Amino acid sequence: MLEILRSVIQEVSRATDLHSVLNIIVDRVRTAMSTEVCSVYLFDEAQQRYRFMATRGLNVDAVGKISLGVGEGLVSLVGERAETINLEDAQKHPRHLFFEEMGEEDFHAFMGVPILHHRKVLGVLVVQQKETRRFDESEEAFLITLSAQLAGVIAHAEATGSLLLPGDVADRPSSKFYGIQGAPGVAIGTAVISALNVELHKVPDKHAEDIDFEIALFQEAIKETQEEIAATSAKLQDRLQPEELALFDVYLHMLDDSAITGEVIEKIKAGNWAQGALRQIIFAHVENFESMEDEYLRERGVDVRGLGNRVLARLQFVDTRTIDYPEKTILVSEELTPADLATVPRDRLVGFVSIKGSGKSHVAILAEAMGMPTVMGVEDLPLALLDHKPMILDAFQGMIITYPKKEELDYYEVIVREEAALIEGLDKTGDKPCITQDNHRVRLWVNTGLMTDVTRSLDRGAEGVGLYRTEVHFMMNDRFPTEEEQRVIYREHLQAFAPRPVTMRTLDIGGDKALSYFPIKEENPFLGWRGIRVTLDHPEIFLAQVRAMIRASEDIDTELRIMLPMISSTAEIDEAQRLVNQCYREIIEEGGELEMPDIGVMIEVPAAVYQARDIIKRVDFLSVGSNDLTQYMLAVDRNNAQVAEIYQEFHPAVLHALTQVVRAARKERKEIGICGEMAGNPSAAVLLMAMGFDILSMNSTNLPLVKHALSNFTLSHAKAMLAKVLKMDNAYLIKNYIEDEMRAAGFGGIIRSRNYKLN
Ligand code: PEP
Ligand code: MG
């Protein structure tokens, strides 16, 4: 059964349009189950009807002509119940509905399985037989398994369907694709697909501007790959058997003009760029092998794929041209990386889209710090079809519109203008401190990482840096930076903000923050080797970094604070402090004249919430990392779009944990801040102020919004709201209540513009 499932799914995934997808399904299912009928009905949301879309065994002329309304027939009953209905004789069921034009009169046995994608019924898959009998358990299991696996492919085919129509831009209907807000805002522009060192299956199709150039580039890559293979073969002459060495000749032969190379050149001549043409040809061959019955031949697909990746690597290496980005570029990537953020010149960039990742992915946080509207997790977006195509990005709603209509463009142009005016107005609050209407002072600091954050932060009146994500610099490099390289960078940061305090976090890699030169492969990266766990296991990395931080502060009128991420036990703090003390002593012994920096701990693991008091006794300050704390308290991967809806910062458990940490810090009379994204959400900031956080640290994009909200609010009102909220037991109700209060207090504009969905 697994074998059949695998081949049906493979074939369906290869189909290029919805019509073919559905026809393959009905065809293969009927054969695999040896039934007389297999049909698919898809739910039409707009009309609220189940449409008869494909069949084998019933009258194909009725396809597209028949539909059932909600409450009509057995098919819609399967949809309503969202469960399988398996009947010996459908004709005896009270919901049985007979359509003469379908030719159903002879069929009795009926089994309908819902096709569900993200809790939504997309349609119903039906098998029927003349015989009066119940489909047995194995048949039921087969259809349910198949339907569950096909749902994603059907959803994708439905969503991309209109993009596959032939014709001009002007003829195409606009299409909407949904994801999650990564950073708020709206942008209208041209999609550019990022092909930055991607793997072969992710290479997009692009129009070749200069066909001869693409061919020359490809031929150079082939030549280099052939040389590389020949050299490897020569090196292994003495160690391999002749039949194993023969494999190298096979590879070399595949790269001949008469084989793969020739086919790729034909594709380039037809207009695709070299990388896209290579992907097309390699995958055509891979699919060919993989569809073979013989297991040995099927496995050969792996060799072809490997060869393709080799050529691609050379191609990416020899292709050094710079891209001409359109004036309003929306950079679209399979998986946005910090390197992507820096590829497009700032004055040409208006937004980011990422197929993978979620709202609290680190790269989304960096994008927000840049003030770039970003949509994450748009899983159905057909990357390969969108290069240089018109696009609207509505990050407030987490939505992408391709080939927008004139009315849509007009509508969004107004929003873009309104948003720019709102931000400009708020920016004027500049250097003024944040003081509430009843004279309570809240310190608003910034989170930094990219060097570009510095000027924006200072312009927007940051009073200090609450979180400097040092790993961003590590992620942009291709090797570990030396102590001296780090010292220079940290010093620039300290100097730019002096005399304001700067909180430097020690290297926080792992989870979704990977270093290409220090790969960490784990089944569960967010529960694995992350943050302090890595650096305590590699004290040489930790010591070099802390030494660089301390030495960077020499002779500057500044306040350096060092912060430890991902602490889950007091032993980790003791060990880290021992290493920091060692660094400090060494530097003093070397003749340095410096103060010992303050040491702080991030509270971002539930264990640390319960031990907050033990922790704060050991250090100078605490800072809550609410991004991770929410993830770990609610057991929701912050990087996974699939579960983004249950990542809720207003969850009562999260709010109670925050109050508990503040209480612990108060009791020890130490300072407490928060540097998760929550601090930059004006609605949440009101509650955090009421809880008693001394410092709210956020990205510079949100600082003016939070300052505007808090300085026009009163602490007493915020405290009354908090008292109410702490008695509530549901995140949705809490969020609605706070936003209602904010609207009533005149902050509707900010809430509308920062539509922090309870995701
Ligand atoms: C956090 O977890 O809230 C935090 C600020 O750290 P990061 O987002 O870098 O993990
Ligand atoms: Mg964190």
> Do residues 487 and 583 touch, judged by C-beta distance below 8 A?
no
Task: Indicate the top mutation candidate among 474, 563, 628, 688 to test ligand 1's pocket, ranked by most ligand atoms within 8 A of CB.
Answer: 628
The CATH number of residue 98's host domain is 3.30.450.40
From 440, 493, 675, 708, active-site residue = 675
Mean pLDDT of the chain: 90
Q: How far apart are CA 578 and CA 572, in angstroms?
A: 10
Q: How far is the CA of 364 from the CAs of 184, 340, 679, 732, in angstroms?
A: 10, 12, 16, 23
Amino acid type, 274:
A
- Looking at the chain, the whole-number percentage of residues with pLDDT higher than 90 is 62
**Ligand 1 nearest-atom number relative to CA 675:** 5
> Do residues 721 and 687 touch, judged by C-beta distance below 8 A?
yes
Q: How far is the CA of 390 from the centre of ligand 1 (A)?
A: 34
Pairing outcome for strands 441-448 and 390-394 = unpaired
User: Is residue 424 situated within a structural domain?
Assistant: yes
Among 324, 339, 335, 340, which Cα is nearest to 388's?
A: 324
**Ligand 1 nearest-atom number relative to CA 531:** 10
pLDDT of residue 169: 55
Asked whether residue 422 falls in the same domain as residue 293, the answer is no
Last residue of a domain, one of 315, 344, 371: 315
Last residue of a domain, one of 315, 349, 382: 315
Question: Does residue 316 register a pLDDT over 50?
Answer: yes
CB burial of 691-707 (b: ≥16 within 10 Å; e: otherwise) equals bbbbbbbbbbbbbbbbb
Low-confidence winner among 41-50, 291-300, 495-504, 622-631 (lowest mean pLDDT): 291-300
Q: How far is the CA of 244 from the centre of ligand 2 (A)?
A: 49
Q: Greater confidence, 105 or 291?
A: 105
User: Is residue 458 situated within a structural domain?
Assistant: no
Asked whether residue 476 falls in the same domain as residue 488, the answer is yes
73 sits in which H/E element: helix 73-81
Smallest-distance ligand from the CA of 512: 1
Q: How far is the CA of 33 from the centre of ligand 1 (A)?
A: 51
Asked whether residue 380 falls in the same domain as residue 413, the answer is no
Q: How far apart are CA 626 and CA 675, in angstroms?
A: 7
Q: Which domain holds residue 224?
A: 196-315
Asked whether residue 558 falls in the same domain as residue 689, the answer is no
Q: How far is the CA of 687 from the centre of ligand 1 (A)?
A: 19
Domain count along the chain: 5
User: In this structure, what is the dihedral angle of CA atoms 729, 733, 734, 735, given to the nearest 10 degrees?
Assistant: 150
Question: Does residue 3 register a pLDDT over 80?
Answer: no
> Do residues 551 and 518 touch, judged by C-beta distance below 8 A?
no
Low-confidence winner among 297-301, 500-504, 510-514, 651-655 (lowest mean pLDDT): 297-301
Q: Phi and psi at residue 379, in whole multiples of 5°?
A: -65, -30
Question: Does residue 344 register a pLDDT over 60?
Answer: yes
The CATH number of residue 484's host domain is 3.20.20.60
Radius of gyration of the chain (CA): 30
Asked whether residue 238 falls in the same domain as residue 344, the answer is no
Residues near 671 by beta carbon (within 8 Å), at least 6 away in sequence: 620, 621, 622, 665, 694, 695
Average pLDDT over residues 164-184: 74
The CATH number of residue 299's host domain is 1.10.274.10
Low-confidence winner among 132-146, 248-262, 555-569 (lowest mean pLDDT): 248-262
| CA pseudo-torsion sign 488, 493, 497, 500 | negative
Q: How far is the CA of 557 from the centre of ligand 2 (A)?
A: 29
Question: Does residue 140 register a pLDDT over 80?
Answer: yes
Task: Indicate the top mutation candidate among 360, 508, 637 to test ligand 1's pocket, ranked by most ligand atoms within 8 A of CB.
Answer: 508
Q: How far apart are CA 190 and CA 186, in angstroms?
A: 13
Asked whether residue 284 falls in the same domain as residue 352, the answer is no
Band (757; pLDDT cuts 50, 70, 90): very low
- Looking at the chain, the whole-number percentage of residues with pLDDT higher than 70 is 96
Asked whether residue 526 falls in the same domain as residue 496, the answer is yes
38 among known catalytic residues:
no
Q: Greater confidence, 617 or 245?
A: 617
Smallest-distance ligand from the CA of 673: 1
DSSP state string for 416-474: HHHHHHHHHHHHTTTT--EE-TT--EEEEEEEE-STTHHHHHHHTT---EEEEETHHHH
pLDDT of residue 756: 41
Residue with CA nearest ligand 1 atom 8: 627
User: Is residue 169 situated within a structural domain?
Assistant: no
**Ligand 1 nearest-atom number relative to CA 678:** 3
Pocket of ligand 1 (CB under 6 A): 362, 365, 467, 469, 508, 604, 625-628, 675-676
pLDDT of residue 252: 83
Q: How far is the CA of 628 from the centre of ligand 1 (A)?
A: 6
Asked whether residue 378 falls in the same domain as residue 438, the answer is no
Q: How far is the CA of 392 from the centre of ligand 2 (A)?
A: 31
pLDDT of residue 20: 84
Question: Does residue 758 register a pLDDT over 60?
Answer: no
How does pLDDT run across 216-260, given as a tens digit for each residue? 999 999 998 888 888 877 877 777 777 777 777 878 888 887 778
User: Is residue 731 situated within a structural domain?
Assistant: yes
The CATH number of residue 374's host domain is 3.50.30.10
Q: How far is the CA of 631 from the centre of ligand 1 (A)?
A: 10
Task: Please give the order of strands across the beta sheet that includes 67-69.
Answer: 67-69, 49-56, 37-44, 120-129, 109-117, 85-87
Task: Indicate the top mutation candidate among 474, 475, 627 to test ligand 1's pocket, ranked by most ligand atoms within 8 A of CB.
Answer: 627
Q: Greater confidence, 124 or 280?
A: 124
User: Is residue 166 situated within a structural domain?
Assistant: no
From 362, 440, 473, 651, active-site residue = 362
Q: Greater confidence, 18 or 447?
A: 447
pLDDT of residue 164: 56
Average pLDDT over residues 448-467: 89
pLDDT of residue 175: 83
Smallest-distance ligand from the CA of 469: 1
User: Is residue 156 situated within a structural domain?
Assistant: yes
Q: How far apart are CA 236 and CA 252, in angstroms?
A: 16
Residue with CA nearest ligand 1 atom 6: 625
Residue with CA nearest ligand 1 atom 10: 628
Among 283, 271, 384, which Cα is nearest to 333's?
A: 384
Give whichever of 4-18, 143-157, 292-306 has the largest mean pLDDT. Answer: 143-157
**Ligand 1 nearest-atom number relative to CA 627:** 3
pLDDT of residue 162: 57
Give whichever of 47-61, 159-173, 599-613 has the largest mean pLDDT. Answer: 599-613
Average pLDDT over residues 159-183: 71
Asked whether residue 581 falls in the same domain as residue 683, the answer is no
Asked whether residue 572 falls in the same domain as residue 486, the answer is yes
Band (307; pLDDT cuts 50, 70, 90): confident
Question: Does residue 122 register a pLDDT over 90?
Answer: yes
User: Is residue 627 situated within a structural domain?
Assistant: yes
19 among known catalytic residues:
no
Band (11; pLDDT cuts 50, 70, 90): confident
Task: Indicate the top mutation candidate among 368, 445, 447, 467 to test ligand 1's pocket, ranked by most ligand atoms within 8 A of CB.
Answer: 467
Pair of tokens at residue 508 = 């926080």
Last residue of a domain, one of 135, 160, 185: 160
**Ligand 1 nearest-atom number relative to CA 362:** 8
Average pLDDT over residues 565-589: 98
pLDDT of residue 172: 66
- Model-level pTM greater than 0.85? no
User: Is residue 523 situated within a structural domain?
Assistant: yes
Asked whether residue 438 falls in the same domain as residue 337, the answer is no
Average pLDDT over residues 429-457: 89
Residue with CA nearest ligand 1 atom 4: 625
Asked whether residue 564 falls in the same domain as residue 695, the answer is no
